[in-house]
């Protein structure tokens, strides 16, 4: 019998499918955050010059235990997602040491083949994003407690907006494959609904991407000011 150390958790987490399951589970949780974050962002469109948004921010900051709990939780999820991805990628690279001279693809989508590109790029962007809108270190005129103002000023710089839009395009691609991939890895696949699930995965990713991108576009179009 192949490798087994007797501890089922370790066996599971060392196995290919175990690590994939970890990727799926953390991915799904992070997706939940992405949806919640989007809901927060879309408050910008409430025409009250950011009053609702500010209220929401104040509410979050008023419960530091909850806020920091969530932040630490997210960080751990992200770390596990990233570390597992790296370990899988290393194994995948080792599994084909000599590449093909010519390789063509029949089915594999661009998004599915570039998860290890879109993923790291999103990660880099997240770091910048935190310095930009959370700590303010990368923001020209940061004012703690007024997210709407920070957002409008931040995105008024077209370069910043374009970088943001590009990052959200990456996120869209990542989700378009990732969402269906979560289902597949967790064993959800049946001819009755798999095709729908795959289309739904792309649709949700596009909606989320559009939602995020709508904010900087609105700022540039001077709809939000």
Partner 1 sequence: MKITLHVWRQKGPSDAGRMATYHHEAHADMSFLEMLDTLNEGLTLKGEEPVAFDSDCREGICGMCGIVINGIPHGPRKSTTTCQLHMREFKDGDHITLEPFRAAAFPIVRDLAVDRAAFDRVIQDGGFVSVNTGSCQDANCIPVPKKASDLAMDAAQCIGCGACVASCPNASAMLFVSAKVSHLGLLPQGQPERGDRALRMVHRMDAEGFGNCTNTRECEASCPKDIGVEFIARMNRDFTLSSALERQEKAGGGGG
Evaluated on CA atoms 148, 46, 220, 210, the torsion sign reads positive
Tokens 């290890």 locate to 116
CB nearer to partner 1: pick between 87 and 156: 87
Residue 1, C-beta contacts closer than 8 angstroms, at least 6 positions apart: none
Three-class SS of residue 221? coil
CB nearer to partner 1: pick between 16 and 143: 16
* Nearest-approach distance from CB 109 to partner 1, in angstroms: 7
Binding mask 122-161 for partner 1 (x = CB under 8 A): ----------------------------------------
Q: Which of 62, 191, 195, 222 binds partner 1 (CB under 8 A)?
A: 191
- In the chain, which ranges are E strands? none
Neighbours of 219 (CB within 10 A): 23
Residue 153, C-beta contacts closer than 8 angstroms, at least 6 positions apart: 139, 140, 141
Q: Which two tokens stand for residue 142?
A: 């940061």
* Nearest-approach distance from CB 22 to partner 1, in angstroms: 11
CB nearer to partner 1: pick between 99 and 222: 99
Using rule CB under 8 A, residue 118 touches partner 1: no
Using rule CB under 8 A, residue 101 touches partner 1: yes
Q: Which two tokens stand for residue 110?
A: 């661009």
Three-class SS of residue 169? helix
Using rule CB under 8 A, residue 109 touches partner 1: yes
Q: Tell which residue, 214, 89, 194, 95, has the closest CA to residue 151.
A: 214
Using rule CB under 8 A, residue 98 touches partner 1: yes
CB nearer to partner 1: pick between 186 and 207: 186
Using rule CB under 8 A, residue 190 touches partner 1: yes
The residues binding partner 1 (CB under 8 A) are: 1-4, 8, 11-12, 14-21, 88, 91-92, 94-109, 112-113, 115, 177, 180-181, 183-191, 194
């Amino acid at each position: 019998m192949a490798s087994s150390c007797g501890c089922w958790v370790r066996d599971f987490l060392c196995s290919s499918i175990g690590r994939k399951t970890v990727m799926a589970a953390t991915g799904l949780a992070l997706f939940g955050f992405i949806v919640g974050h989007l809901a927060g962002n879309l408050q910008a469109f409430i025409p009250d010059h950011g009053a609702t948004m500010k209220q929401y921010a104040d509410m979050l900051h008023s419960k530091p235990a909850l806020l920091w709990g969530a932040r630490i939780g997210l960080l751990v999820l992200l770390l596990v997602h990233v570390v597992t991805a790296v370990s899988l990628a290393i194994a995948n690279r080792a599994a084909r040491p000599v590449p093909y001279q010519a390789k063509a693809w029949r089915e594999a989508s661009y998004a599915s083949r570039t998860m290890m590109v879109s993923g790291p790029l999103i990660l880099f962007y997240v770091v910048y994003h935190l310095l930009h809108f959370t700590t303010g270190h990368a923001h020209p005129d940061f004012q703690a407690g007024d997210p709407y103002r920070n957002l409008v000023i931040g995105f008024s710089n077209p370069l910043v907006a374009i970088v943001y839009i590009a990052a959200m395009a990456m996120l869209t691609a990542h989700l378009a494959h990732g969402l269906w991939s979560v289902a597949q890895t967790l064993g959800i696949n049946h001819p009755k609904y798999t095709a729908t699930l795959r289309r739904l995965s792309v649709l949700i990713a596009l909606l989320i991407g559009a939602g995020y991108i709508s904010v900087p576009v609105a700022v540039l179009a001077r709809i939000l000011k």
